Structure formats: structure tokens, C-alpha cells
Structure 1
């Protein structure tokens, strides 16, 4: 799935797959195209590779946020700008940490809520598209080894998965933040400068 997603995000392609097109059970299970059965939950293939014991491998598998098996029969990906998926179930945004905090600030501009996310380690797609598809909540992840090695995700990028309505909300919020002078790129003020003039603008005059 890392490769399929990157075909849209990096190459601009529209691609559809079923579970039969995926290599191995892990990716199938995260997006609900394969069962999360006892064999999958055991994670035996990861013992001695990603985890030191069978217990650790099982704990990781159980920690993953996955889509219930059978909810979907296939997956389609496409650049949002193409408008080919109307509407998509979730949107994926790759961004640097600086860009990502502005996106999060945009989400929090109105209807504020504290976001809390977890890190499962390998199979981090469960932190992003697995969690977002399962819960409907904005889901931030640190792309894992597989996403970077096979999906081509650059070293400096993070991934946010969120519903189209949440992305629209974030855009509205970011536009208002920009009007307030809070925008990306975030220009360094200077670590030895008197911060009072800048703070008065960015954080409101006292």
C-alpha cells in the first residue's frame, strides 16, 4: 500500500487495487482487505526482525488501528487535485514538521480540540490511514521504514490522514492564520534578538 499511495502522491497517478494485488497479509489487514485473524495477530514473521520476542510481535500487531475486515472490497488512490474520487473517504497530506504544525493550527482555529496520537513503530500506516479510516479522526504519523524504503517518502516528511471535511476546515483556519501573520514558511526571528516586538504581534499585545 505504501507504493500504491505514493503512485498518487509522487507520480500523480490514479490507481485501484484489491487485496490480491498486495504482497503479504500486513497491508491487506490494515485497510480491511484481509483478515485480522490469529495468524496475523501473532506476527510470527516479525520475531527476530522487528521485535525480540513473540510477545513483543503480538503486542505490536494488537496495537495497530485497522479497518474491520470486509468493510471495503478494494482501494483507490488519486491526487486530490484530479477530482477523480468524489468524495474520497480520507485525504493524505505529506508535509515537513513546520508545515504540519501550521496544518494542525488550522484545524484548531475554530472548534478547538487537543489531538492525541500514538506511534506503533513499523506499520505506521496504521497510525495514519488505518486510524483515520477506522475512527474518522485526523491522524498524524511518522512514516515508517517501509513507507520510506518502498513508498519513497522523504526523510523530512510526516503524514496526516483526515476526512475531506477536516481538510477543508484546516484550509479555512490556515487562511485566517495567514491573515494574522502566522504562516509557512516560519521565518526565524533571531535567537539573540529582543523578542518583545515580535511576540506582541504573534501572540497579541499585552
Structure 2
């Protein structure tokens, strides 16, 4: 299945508001398809441009601002303030001890050193010619539920959840690249502030190699029930306050 078809199937079946985004971490900069933008920005901003505007972008660490995002994706070695937990004190946790645990629970490729030199981000539909490691879906909880169903359809195995709510999209890219497994996360404050992520949005990240099976699962599920929206059960008689309830005096005499 080509990339445009994959993207359109997900958009249609899940009624996504923004485009699925393909991401690849690059070990060297040879043959980059374009230059980075001429100003520093965060990975979440690049993803926002891809999913809202359909843009393809390249990022390198010297043209980035967010150190935790770069550490999660292995573009830099994890800085000391994240290793010792002090970066989270007062912002997310009470003290450095809690901060160390907090960042230990934030998946970071940079804990193993600098592993990659660049990041390539594009709408899934525009990613022909290179193989993404991770594909990102910004979704509401109902769409996330169906994405989970598309993964568990064949095996029943649960999808991992990243619930520390720190650098979730960057952490998920690192996690999927490293493990080959999908993960669902709670976008962080920075993704909301700089990437424009909305209050209702979650981020679901999946390995590119899973996408065709996920589509097939959604298609098969759609044969027995509607994927989205899920219809509410409204076949029952409600009770309302007396003033809002039709009574005998409101009906014609002898009416039924």
C-alpha cells in the first residue's frame, strides 16, 4: 500500500483532524532532502507544520532549542540536569530525588549518548522514497481507542502508555525507533505551547511497519460495527422536570 493510500485510509476511517506524520532519525547528514529552516525551533513545531500544513522539514540539534526533545530522540546526549533530576524541580516535582525518577521514566535515546545527527519529518503521504521509523497520530481519546484496537486486533497484547506527560512526542519517537512497538502519550506543556497541540489531543506513535496491519484491522472491524463516531444508545424514554414534560393538558382532548 503506498503512503498516500495509507494516510487517506487513516484519515477517513478515524476522521483525524490533522495528517499522520512520518519521522526518521538519521545517523548522518549525507543526502538530506533539504536544509533546516533558517531559525531555531523545537521538534514539536516541526511536527505541527507537517500535520497542519503538509510540510517536509529537516532538523539538526544546533538549530533546535528544546534539549529534552533532542535528548529523547538521541540527537544529543542527555544533559546533566535531566540525569540528576534538577530540571524538573518546581516545574513537575518537589525535589531532585523525584526528578531523577521522573526523567528515568521519560524514554530518552540520549541516555546512551548522541546516536543521531538529524531528524526528517513529513506528512505520511509525502514520505515516499525513505522509510520512517515512527508515524505519529494526533488524536482524540475515541480515535486513540480505535488505534489501540487496530494494534491489538491480531494478538490482544496491550499498547504501552507514556504517562509522565513530559516530552511525550519526542519520547515516543525514541521509544518506537528503539523498541519497534507502539506507544500512546500525553502531550507535554511545551507541545501545547510551541506546537499548538489542543487540549483534547493525545499522541499515538506506531512503527511504520505496522501500518498496513493496522489499516486491515480497522477495515475488518468496520465490517461489523462503525469505527467512528460511536452512536449513543438513545432508544429509551427520558424523565424530565414537570415544566418540561408534555402532560395531558398539552394534548388535544382525546389525543394520544
Question: What's the TM-score bracket when you normalise by the shorter of the two chains?
Answer: 0.7 to 0.9
Indicate conservation of the 8 Å contact 1:104/1:170, yes or no.
Answer: no
Could you tell me which residue of structure 2 aligns to residue 179 of structure 1? Answer: 223
Are 1:62 and 2:122 matched, yes or no?
Answer: no
Partner of 2:182: 138
- The aligned counterpart of 2:121 is 77
Q: Using the alignment, how far apart are the partners of 2:162 and 2:132 within structure 1?
A: 24
Are the equivalent residues in 2 in contact too, given 1:25–1:40 (CA < 8 A)?
Answer: no
Q: 2:57 aligns with which of 9, 12, 15?
A: 15
- The superposition leaves residues 99-141 of structure 1 with CA deviations (integer Å, 9 ceiling, x where unpaired) of 1111211222223312232311222235522321221110101
Higher-Rg structure is 2
Tell me the SS of whatever aligns to 2:166. coil
Compared CA separation, residues 106 and 143, structure 1 to 2 (3 A): same
Residue 102 (structure 1) aligned with residue 143 (structure 2): no
Q: Could you say what secondary structure the match of 2:162 adopts?
A: coil
**1:41 and 2:83 are equivalent in the alignment:** yes
- Answering whether residue 209 of structure 2 is matched by residue 160 of structure 1, we say no
Note the alpha carbon deviations across 1:151-198, whole angstroms, 9 max, x for none.
Answer: 1111111111111121221111000001112411111123847xxxxx
Off by >3 Å, runs of 4+ in structure 1? 37-40
Residues 17 and 176 of structure 1: CA distance in aligned 2, closer, same or farther (over 3 Å): same
Q: Contact 1:6–1:152 at 8 Å: present in 2 too?
A: yes
Ranges in structure 1 where 5+ consecutive residues have no aligned partner: 194-206
Distance 1:165 1:25 in 2: 29
